[in-house]
Every structure is written in structure tokens, then in C-alpha cells.
């Protein structure tokens, strides 16, 4: 196995930040035709607190029993580099968190398209190990080098026995120096710790600047034209979003699981076609796109293997200019006049929701479908 036919693409870097919806972050893209609202109250930066965003909070928001935080950051004022990337690369405006819940399940979906849990594991117990396939493990089996620059305790890649303890799990503090040295392998995942991960109550500009510094290190090493970046956020974080996402999968209690709320996905790099892309995508789309761009075989996880992926956004004839250097002004293209209207929502990707299926393990075994946060009483026959 090897890199896809476009030999320019020598590297895919997946960057994962925390806890913001598309409406919450990208109101500034409304004049350019993005499907975002632009008239909610401005959110002070940093936010004063974290808000509920677990499975139960999602259910209560979905059913109208809980009002998510109905505010928006001033995109161009506090997130100018993200605005630049969104307007010069591909902005996937209808990208969704994989599951309607909080962090760990969605991080696992980004790595391998599955999660056996709908909650964050206990911090007072030894971390669980789930022997699921993952994209880094698939790359290793194909002889393609990879690294995961993780948060503390190798989170979240350390949950996979195939990756646990690997020398390719490195502290995220190493990323910038490795990128500057031009030593990054073909596959890279990057997570940050607080406050650089943008998880409330962090100052979101701190996280943006850390991402900017990392991208700039790749650029200065000469890697921009051969690298595809995918930058996304793990889950909704309890922030509101005006788009009702398709009900593709549900838990046994009948509550929508997938897709979760919209979260931003920016795809950028030298060969990436720019524009606002309105297709539905979700966190399983990210590993699928990595597989496409690195020429890897199927993962064996239907949620990933059946996904359309985003490889069509990479064009060998495109040579985008590199973004502005870290610490300079992030130039933002002028807004069109008159403002553009957003594209209509595409139809749902499947005709009807289905029950979430078992979790596939390496070697052919399975785990039960994730159902560890029941939300409604179970009715038993005969009393």
C-alpha cells in the first residue's frame, strides 16, 4: 500500500480541538454564504464556565427540555486564523460530531469509526482498553509510518491495545519541533491539552494560536504543498446550533445517536480545493478520508468503509498559497457584496434511522452496541 495517485500528497495531519459547534464559532462566514446564523449574542472570550454536554444533556437539548448556550464567538476578532483557513480552504459546513454525546466516544470515532461507550471513562480507574481497529493501526499494518501526538496519558489513542505503549504515541509538545524539522510521517493525529484545546473555560484564541503555530511549522519546513490538514472539534460542548442533523442511528431507547450536532471541519493544504462544501459528513468521514489519501485498505468498520470520504477535495492541479506566518495578521478575503445566500440543506444520507450496531474488534469478535447511558425507562412485558 502507498500514497494515493496524487504523489504530491505525502502527509495527512488530523488536528482535533474541543467543544464548539459550527454556529458557535463561524458566524463570521455568513456573508460568504455559509449556513450559519449571525445574530445570536456575542460570547465573551474566555467563556466563564463549561456547560453540560454529555449524552443526557444532548438528549434534553434534542427534545427541547434544555436550552444549549445560545451565543457565538466573534469569528474575525478572536479566531481570525480559523476564518482565514475556512475561506481559503474547504469549509465543511454540515460536518457533524459522530455521536450525540461528549468527548471520548467522538475521539474514538475520529480514530476508528466506533465507540463501545457513550461517556467519558472514569479518571479514578485504570483506563480501559478496547481492541478495536484504528487508522494508525491500519497504517502500521500497511507499512506506513504514523504518529499520534496526544494529550496526557496518551489520550485518546492509548485506549487501543494495538497502539497502547507504542513509541509512536508522543507528547503533543513535540509536534511543533518535529514539524519544523520536516520529520513528520505520512499520518499524524494531534490533540492538545487545556488551555490549548479550546475546551471551556479556555480562551479560544490560545488554542487557535497553537494550531497556527503547528501549521506554520509545517509550512516553514517546506511541507505545505504536500500536506492535507483536517482540523475538527470533538463534540458540541453544550453550545447551540440551528441545524437539525440527520437521524442516522439510534440507541435502544429510541434516541438519536448519529449524527451528533454540527461541529466545524476545515480541510486545507497545498492541493485542497477551496470553497464552502454543503454535503453531510461526520467524524467517521475523517478516518475514511485518511484511508483514501494514504491508499490504505478497508478498516473493517462499516461506518468508515461505507462513507463517501472527502478525497475529491484534493486536486493535483491546485497549488494554494501558504497561510500567513504565525504571529502576523491573518488576512481574511473581503466579503462579497451583496452577501451570498447559503445552499439548501442536502437530503439525509440514508432514508431512515437504524439501531446502532455492535462494535467490531480486531480478530473478528464484537462488543455490544454502546448503550451505557439509557435515557428513558425500559418497559417490560407482563408488568
What pLDDT is stored for residue 6 in this prediction? 55
Per-position DSSP letters for 237-258, written without gaps between them: TTB--SPPPP--EE-TTS-EEE
Compute the distance between CA of residue 383 and CA of residue 365 in angstroms, rounded to an integer. 35
Considering the segment(s) 11-367 as one domain, its CATH architecture is 3-Layer(aba) Sandwich (3.40)
What pLDDT is stored for residue 293 in this prediction? 97
What pLDDT is stored for residue 381 in this prediction? 37
Identify which of 115, 138, 159, 334 has the alpha carbon closest to the alpha carbon of residue 146. Answer: 138
Where exactly are the structural domains of the chain? 11-367
Confidence of residue 36 (pLDDT cuts 50, 70, 90): very high
Confidence of residue 124 (pLDDT cuts 50, 70, 90): confident
Can you tell me the mean pLDDT for 34-56?
Answer: 97
Can you tell me the mean pLDDT for 23-47?
Answer: 98
Compute the distance between CA of residue 14 and CA of residue 227 in angstroms, rounded to an integer. 11
What pLDDT is stored for residue 267 in this prediction? 98
What pLDDT is stored for residue 8 in this prediction? 81
Identify which of 323, 65, 52 has the alpha carbon closest to the alpha carbon of residue 212. Answer: 323
pTM of the model: 0.96
What pLDDT is stored for residue 152 in this prediction? 86
Can you tell me the mean pLDDT for 208-216?
Answer: 98
83-112 residue pLDDT tens? 999 999 999 999 999 999 999 999 999 999
What does the mean pLDDT of the chain come to?
Answer: 95
7: left (phi over 0), alpha (psi -120 to 50) or beta: alpha
Burial of 360 (0-12, 13-18, 19+ CB in 10 A): buried
What pLDDT is stored for residue 125 in this prediction? 87
Confidence of residue 67 (pLDDT cuts 50, 70, 90): confident
230-286 residue pLDDT tens? 999 999 999 999 999 999 999 999 999 999 999 999 999 999 999 999 999 999 999
Can you tell me the mean pLDDT for 121-144?
Answer: 94
328-344 residue pLDDT tens? 999 999 999 999 999 99
What pLDDT is stored for residue 382 in this prediction? 37
What pLDDT is stored for residue 377 in this prediction? 52
pLDDT(3) > 60 = no
Confidence of residue 166 (pLDDT cuts 50, 70, 90): very high
Compute the distance between CA of residue 25 and CA of residue 342 in angstroms, rounded to an integer. 17
Amino acid at each position: 500500500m502507498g500514497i494515493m495517485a496524487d504523489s504530491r500528497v505525502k502527509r495527512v495531519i488530523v488536528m482535533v480541538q474541543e467543544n464548539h459547534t459550527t454556529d458557535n464559532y463561524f458566524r463570521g462566514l455568513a456573508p460568504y454564504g455559509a449556513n450559519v446564523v449571525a445574530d445570536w449574542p456575542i460570547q465573551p472570550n474566555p467563556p466563564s464556565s463549561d456547560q453540560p454536554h454529555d449524552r443526557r444533556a444532548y438528549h434534553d437539548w434534542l427534545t427541547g427540555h434544555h436550552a444549549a448556550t445560545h451565543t457565538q464567538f466573534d469569528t474575525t476578532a478572536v479566531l481570525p486564523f480559523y476564518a482565514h483557513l475556512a475561506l481559503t480552504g474547504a469549509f465543511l459546513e454540515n460536518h457533524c460530531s459522530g455521536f450525540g454525546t461528549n468527548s471520548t466516544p467522538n475521539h474514538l470515532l475520529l480514530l476508528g469509526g466506533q465507540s463501545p461507550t457513550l461517556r467519558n471513562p472514569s479518571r479514578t480507574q485504570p483506563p480501559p482498553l478496547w481492541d478495536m481497529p484504528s487508522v494508525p493501526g491500519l497504517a502500521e499494518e500497511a507499512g506506513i509510518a504514523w504518529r499520534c501526538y496526544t494529550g496526557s496519558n496518551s489520550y485518546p489513542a492509548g485506549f487501543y491495545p494495538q497502539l497502547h505503549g507504542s513509541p509512536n504515541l508522543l507528547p503533543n509538545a513535540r509536534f511543533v519541533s518535529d514539524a519544523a524539522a520536516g520529520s513528520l510521517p505520512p499520518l499524524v493525529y494531534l490533540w492538545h491539552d487545556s488551555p490549548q484545546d479550546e475546551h471551556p473555560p479556555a480562551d479560544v484564541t490560545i488554542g487557535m494560536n497553537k494550531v497556527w503555530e503547528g501549521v506554520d511549522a509545517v509550512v516553514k519546513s517546506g511541507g505545505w504543498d504536500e500536506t492535507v490538514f483536517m482540523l475538527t472539534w470533538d463534540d458540541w460542548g453544550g453550545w447551540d446550533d440551528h441545524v437539525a442533523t440527520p437521524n442516522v442511528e439510534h440507541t435502544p431507547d429510541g434516541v438519536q445517536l448519529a449524527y451528533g450536532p454540527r461541529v466545524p471541519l476545515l480541510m486545507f493544504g497545498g492541493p485542497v480545493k477551496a470553497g464552502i462544501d454543503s454535503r453531510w459528513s461526520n467524524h467517521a468521514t475523517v478516518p475514511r478520508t485518511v484511508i483514501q489519501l494514504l491508499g490504505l485498505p478497508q478498516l473493517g468498520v462499516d461506518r468508515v468503509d461505507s462513507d463517501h470520504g472527502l478525497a475529491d477535495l484534493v486536486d493535483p492541479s491546485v497549488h494554494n498559497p501558504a497561510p500567513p506566518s504565525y504571529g502576523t495578521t491573518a488576512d481574511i478575503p473581503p466579503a462579497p457584496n451583496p452577501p451570498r445566500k447559503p445552499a439548501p440543506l442536502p437530503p439525509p444520507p440514508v432514508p431512515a434511522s437504524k439501531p446502532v450496531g455492535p462494535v467490531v474488534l480486531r480478530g473478528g469478535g464484537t462488543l455490544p452496541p454502546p448503550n451505557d447511558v439509557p435515557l428513558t425507562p425500559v418497559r417490560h412485558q407482563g408488568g
